[in-house]
Structure 1
């Protein structure tokens, strides 16, 4: 006799598959929104400042000030993806690449604030806090060391600018056909971007540009926030599996898995913050998680590259150039610092030293967080503007 249950139609899909499918469609829609937002910022920047972008950011022509702007902006927003996308949009609107490069470098430092704050959750246990704080600040020390090496090289020789410029010209403007010839993204985003820009032009003068920038920035915030949220839901289990399988299998596996996990969840803050509790509990040592953490620097650069696809026309080369600067800066830093034993150990030594001080006196942890990410950068910006 047939089982009555057998007569009930069954879906061929597993219960969670349709939900996952809708979430993936939402991710695609949010990526489209991100690309539209970057176009809006570029267009709004042009409307607001015209050809005066260089003069507007003359105070940031000092590379140290540009660096501090990147640090403070990312520390306040807590998303290097948002800041790098914003910078791509501003470059598309006329911001010189040479001014934008130190800002991109600064965003690397600002984003490490999240995992440093996460480590404070272990503050009640001296030993746990020592392990957690060292795991968090090794990222700080690595990024600061990368800037100490590459910012002077950039100021003297324009290393990243030249290499990224050559690559972007080859990809966008070289040969008989280039990726900019199709202007596919322009056509795809035109209905949304064009409609919003038309609405904003109803405002008088510079206010139209400022309003367009504000809408673009709001859309970047929303899209990146919800892309990250959805991808965490969809991929966090897989990301944790990669993390656990890769850590302890050597530095290259650690760097590669850190890059991959960050690309999956679209947030270096999430990737590195996953490591802090594991380090605090003693599950992994500082030396084991170090490659994973620096791999996250490379993984997070995918967002700026994605944002650069929003830009068409004559400025497409510059938008791609600054996105490639972000990639090259992180790839070169990992290759050089991790490839030279003497340099490789400096972030580890710095993190251990600072964690020892902070474990004895918690005041040092507060001074580090406030000083590196807010007080010193803002003081330097203020002094430069006044002078």
Structure 2
């Protein structure tokens, strides 16, 4: 290749990267506008009485199940938590939003379990890959099992996040909402969306805004992930190889950085599972890496919360902070306590042994944990 050709190739590569980042910026703007649309839609559709709309879901178990199944179907906890932020801004009670967000943590771990099936023909590789995938499931299930009852009894996450959110948002935001930067920035998009459904009756215009908002969030988060993966995955693999093997803290940090970079914990864990299957990383190295992915995925909800202004700004930021603090506290308790730390590994290795003996167990596990058991529990709760 001549010097001129190399320069031309380098220039084209740089231009492609700039276009990709401009697309990402536009998609982030769409994401923020979509979150605002969901909040406005709930307020419009319910006349400001969204709490009454969710009165039927007083059982937090129902909210948890909805969070698990919705995230397993959409395959993006970032999408689901962004939707939750918009719903809270529209009046969804925190008592329902918190289990929804916890359920999203469980549902998102399905991707890595499916990825492990790529090694199903090689017994030992499949055992390593399946254990690397299900250590994520095991940790998230254990975290919810410990922290949801504590939250229902003592509300530590809600209380702490309320104090932090009030400090970050401040009274100035509430009293100076007319000059709020994000409100001014998003106003053109909000006006366009509201105008598009203004011809509908009040109730249906609110419902239409909710549907448009959810569709826009799914589209923007999915497309952001695709664009960022194209730009960042090569670098992500470099980070993984250089950092994962250095120790737990380095593994968590690399998992968090990569997840923020590609905006998808599903992508992050899907990257590590094949490497674990082929023996590049051990299960004990993969374990902290997936915990970092849990932390990294909370950034999207925090970003989405910036789209909310006015009296509901504190609540929107609060649920985003709850999602972050839930993951931090789970790591401190489960990974921080020596007698709890190995439990997800023990569970994952046990599941992998069963999967290696009988491949039908894998199908039963995926359908049972993420769909059948949650939906059966929902049916039982509704009956009684």
Normalising to structure 1: TM-score of the pair?
0.95
Which residue of structure 2 lines up, in the alignment, with residue 173 of structure 1? 170
Asked if the contact 1:171/1:179 (under 8 Å) is kept, the reply is no
In structure 2, distance between residues paired with 1:338 and 1:324? 20
Asked if the contact 1:38/1:86 (under 8 Å) is kept, the reply is yes
Asked if the contact 1:38/1:216 (under 8 Å) is kept, the reply is yes
Q: 1:239 to 1:12 in 2, by over 3 A?
A: closer
Asked if the contact 2:173/2:180 (under 8 Å) is kept, the reply is no
Which of residues 371, 374, 378 in structure 1 aligns to 2:371? 374
Please give the root-mean-square deviation of Cα atoms over the aligned residues, in Å: 2.0
Specify the SS of the correspondent of 2:272: helix
Which residue of structure 1 lines up, in the alignment, with residue 247 of structure 2? 250
Asked if the contact 1:78/1:111 (under 8 Å) is kept, the reply is yes
Which residue of structure 2 lines up, in the alignment, with residue 266 of structure 1? 263
In structure 2, distance between residues paired with 1:136 and 1:383? 30
Which residue of structure 1 lines up, in the alignment, with residue 45 of structure 2? 48
* Alpha-carbon shift at residue 324 of structure 1 (Å): 0.3
In structure 2, distance between residues paired with 1:135 and 1:141? 10
Specify the SS of the correspondent of 1:341: coil
* Alpha-carbon shift at residue 177 of structure 1 (Å): 9.4
In structure 2, distance between residues paired with 1:68 and 1:115? 20
2:329 aligned with 1:332, yes or no? yes
Structure 2 unaligned segments of length 5 or more: list them. Answer: none
* Alpha-carbon shift at residue 55 of structure 1 (Å): 2.3
Asked if the contact 1:44/1:212 (under 8 Å) is kept, the reply is yes
Which of residues 35, 44, 48 in structure 2 aligns to 1:38? 35
2:355 aligned with 1:358, yes or no? yes
In structure 2, distance between residues paired with 1:76 and 1:186? 32
Asked if the contact 1:172/1:178 (under 8 Å) is kept, the reply is no
Asked if the contact 2:173/2:309 (under 8 Å) is kept, the reply is no
Question: What are the superposed Cα offsets for residues 21-66 of structure 1, whole Å, 9 maximum, x if unpaired?
Answer: 1111111011001000000010011111223322222232211111
Higher mean alpha-carbon deviation, 95-104 vs 374-383, is at 374-383
Asked if the contact 1:101/1:322 (under 8 Å) is kept, the reply is yes
In structure 2, distance between residues paired with 1:200 and 1:246? 49
Which residue of structure 2 lines up, in the alignment, with residue 323 of structure 1? 320
* Alpha-carbon shift at residue 362 of structure 1 (Å): 1.4
Asked if the contact 2:173/2:310 (under 8 Å) is kept, the reply is no
1:1-387 matches, cutoff 5 A: 14-174=11-171, 182-387=179-384
Higher mean alpha-carbon deviation, 360-369 vs 162-171, is at 360-369
Question: What are the superposed Cα offsets for residues 150-176 of structure 1, whole Å, 9 maximum, x if unpaired?
Answer: 101101100100111110011112579
Specify the SS of the correspondent of 2:35: helix
In structure 2, distance between residues paired with 1:288 and 1:13? 36
In structure 1, distance between residues paired with 2:143 and 2:161? 17
Q: 1:178 to 1:22 in 2, by over 3 A?
A: farther
Q: Number of residues paired by the alignment?
A: 382
* Alpha-carbon shift at residue 98 of structure 1 (Å): 1.6
Structure 1 unaligned segments of length 5 or more: list them. Answer: none
* Alpha-carbon shift at residue 365 of structure 1 (Å): 1.3
In structure 2, distance between residues paired with 1:229 and 1:369? 25
Higher mean alpha-carbon deviation, 306-315 vs 356-365, is at 356-365
Specify the SS of the correspondent of 2:339: helix
* Alpha-carbon shift at residue 323 of structure 1 (Å): 0.3
